[in-house]
Every structure is written in structure tokens, then in C-alpha cells.
Amino acid sequence: MRDDTSKPKDSASLLPTTTLEELVRRGARQLIQRAVEVEVEALLSES
């Protein structure tokens, strides 16, 4: 068996890194999406 030292030995290092900016953007998108959904539901219930 070959010992490949180029592979990380720590499984946590295989996880993708998420920056704070990415987390903020994701949260903002979710809030905006939910706000639009609520507005559409309100408009549809008025008719």
C-alpha cells in the first residue's frame, strides 16, 4: 500500500470553508426571499 502524504489526514480539512461574508449574504438572501413570499401571499389574499 502506498503512503500518500499529499492527502490531508484531518477529515475536517475536507469540509468547504465558508467566510463570514458568504454567511451574511446567504442570510440576507433568505430574508429577502421570505419577505417577497409574504408580500405575494398578502397580495393574493386581497383579491
Q: Residue 15: what pLDDT?
A: 67
C-alpha dihedral (5, 11, 13, 17), degrees to nearest 10? 150
CB-based contact 13:7 (threshold 8 Å) = no
Q: Residue 46: what pLDDT?
A: 92
Q: Residue 9: what pLDDT?
A: 62
pLDDT tens figures, 1-47:
555 556 556 666 676 788 999 999 999 999 999 999 999 999 999 97
- In angstroms, the CA 36 to CA 8 distance is 43
Q: Extract the C-alpha cell encoding 21.
A: 461574508
CB atoms within 10 A of CB 45: 7
Query: What SS3 class is residue 19?
Result: coil
Q: Residue 17: what pLDDT?
A: 83
